[in-house]
Structure 1
């Protein structure tokens, strides 16, 4: 039955690609389009993942495959563009707005800076298409990745030269959904931070709760020597939507990545995150917080590849699950034979707020070096009953006492956020999404 659905999905997207191709005229022979054509043909050769795939055994995507999502290029814009309610409060920072993955220049506000390109991926590709196709690579491993390449019309690009600090955080708003169609949004994100350079980037994915759509993202990040990137991904989309992301990061010597993955929205979300530490002294810190209720399903897959010696990785993922929601955490650390003096730590902790919520957790260590310090662990439980009793005994109402414990639990992740404006708004969003008293 799954195979029939896969064929139906492939036929639908192949037909839509042909429909889109007719509108291109001369652009149909461009290098960019030829790459897309390769991907749609590849999509025809492979299967969408199913429960028989080890990496997808806890996440059933059949509901996504059976729907006929219309690529954004073929839709008339109809999402709400009242964007203020979605924005984080940063004064004079650059703002880029993408409507179903396509750049909206009118709503964007870009502050130009020497030695920095900030803009749409499409405009960046037009500067030198041959060089772009040669050097800008997105990793493709699943049918969803090839689907993204086939219909990825646009996206966000940030290229920072050497010895440059981004003056203000960059805020990128991806607003998804369509009142008239079940839309497929296929944004692509490309970030390069040069040697001895620094940046703060906020990727904010939102959507109207009345809209039913698929957001399918592919992200490539390159950190050069001695660079530093704080990358925040905040997913607060429609409870009727599907969200898939594949983030691949390459880190050179002495680079530092602080990645924050904060998940609130979506009927089904799958967050893929991997970092390859290919230069000595590189450090990556993965910080994740996933909040789910009702019948939401959120799946986090992380991978850290310690390819060389003297690198550090720290991973803290925490989940708060209520009602009938389900979480999945699969985190793998690979330490290569030559990666001596590796320090790698991983922790996944989940609180279940209801008897019917559940978590499937699978921390993994694969070590081929002998001089390393590595650990991993996972815990699942409920709010601390003794702590709750103690707080209530001091005259604090039960709902407020539970909120205090929830905030303390989430704080291990939120306290690491280096932007105070963002930190406070994230705390508000935690309680707003759980429908609980805010403290």
Structure 2
């Protein structure tokens, strides 16, 4: 284990999804404040293939993720799911790119950020729908919760559409915890920090729940709890 030592991770993954293939790619990144992490994923998909990418970033001094997919045939699905948590002065920088080149394909993207202290998050997502990619369905959403007044996020969801028969949406929201929900939980006698933790885990849940592997879902919930409460949970 690298422990608390300064280190740099450079990861490159190439995915080739042949006809009717289903590829699930999971990544959990959890490093110390002296580490630097860079990942690049290049996915190339053929007819009727499905690519699911699950990206969970729990911090380093600097994290950069580049996730790219080319949908180069018909009836392809691409799904990106991501959660990024950062505190102190950490930076998590997410860049995604989906290239629709052929008709009758679908992409869905949901990234959620939870930022505390002086942390900074970036979401730069881009979807291109080429002229021949009619009947495309493409969805992109980035949502971020700021837990301190010093935390910042730069979010830039983008659509470039050159076809005229498509269904595409994109959006971004940035805000703080819901005061009404927090008050409701507190009136039930729940301590303040636990109430905040419950709201944040509920915020992250619609990404965590799409994970197909149950032990991995449990581990993610543990990691989220650890990160929010700055403690470690012993796995049994």
Q: TM-score, normalised by structure 1?
A: 0.52
Question: Of 413, 419, 428, which residue of structure 1 is paired with 2:222?
Answer: 428
2:146·2:152 contact (CA, 8 Å) conserved in 1?
A: yes
Aligned to 1:242: 36
Residue 253 in 1 paired to residue 47 in 2? yes
| Structure ranking higher in helix proportion | 1
2:182·2:196 contact (CA, 8 Å) conserved in 1?
A: yes
1:257·1:285 contact (CA, 8 Å) conserved in 2?
A: yes
Residues 263 and 292 of structure 1: CA distance in aligned 2, closer, same or farther (over 3 Å) = same
3-state SS of the aligned residue for 1:280? coil
- Return the alpha-carbon distance in structure 1 between the equivalents of residues 145 and 32 of structure 2: 23
Alpha-carbon distance, 1:436 to partner: 5.7
State which structure, 1 or 2, has the greater radius of gyration over its C-alpha atoms. Answer: 1
Alpha-carbon distance, 1:343 to partner: 0.1
Aligned to 1:362: 156
Residues 346 and 339 of structure 1: CA distance in aligned 2, closer, same or farther (over 3 Å) = same
Aligned to 2:58: 264
Residue 348 in 1 paired to residue 118 in 2? no
Question: Of 70, 85, 89, which residue of structure 2 is paired with 1:295?
Answer: 89
Residues 98-146 of structure 1: per-residue CA shift (max 9 Å, x gap): xxxxxxxxxxxxxxxxxxxxxxxxxxxxxxxxxxxxxxxxxxxxxxxxx
Residue 399 in 1 paired to residue 193 in 2? yes
CA RMSD of aligned residues (A): 1.2
2:197·2:228 contact (CA, 8 Å) conserved in 1?
A: no
Residue 331 in 1 paired to residue 125 in 2? yes
Alpha-carbon distance, 1:239 to partner: 1.6
Question: Of 380, 388, 412, which residue of structure 1 is paired with 2:182?
Answer: 388
Aligned to 1:224: 18
2:59·2:91 contact (CA, 8 Å) conserved in 1?
A: no
Aligned to 1:212: 6
3-state SS of the aligned residue for 1:422? helix
Aligned to 1:285: 79
Higher relative contact order (Cα pairs below 8 Å, separated by 6+ residues): 2
Aligned to 1:120: none
Alpha-carbon distance, 1:360 to partner: 0.3
Alpha-carbon distance, 1:418 to partner: 0.3
3-state SS of the aligned residue for 1:276? strand
3-state SS of the aligned residue for 2:183? helix
Aligned residue pair count: 232
Alpha-carbon distance, 1:435 to partner: 2.0
- Return the alpha-carbon distance in structure 1 between the equivalents of residues 200 and 96 of structure 2: 24
Aligned to 1:314: 108
Residues 379-427 of structure 1: per-residue CA shift (max 9 Å, x gap): 0000000100011112111111111101110001000000000000100
Residue 379 in 1 paired to residue 190 in 2? no
Residue 274 in 1 paired to residue 68 in 2? yes
Alpha-carbon distance, 1:219 to partner: 1.4
2:32·2:60 contact (CA, 8 Å) conserved in 1?
A: yes
Mapping 1:6-405, distance limit 5 Å: 80=1, 207-208=2-3, 210-405=4-199
Name structure 1 gaps, 5 residues minimum.
Answer: 1-79, 81-206
- Return the alpha-carbon distance in structure 2 between the equivalents of residues 218 and 230 of structure 1: 16
Which deviates more, 418-427 or 393-402?
393-402
Alpha-carbon distance, 1:437 to partner: 8.4
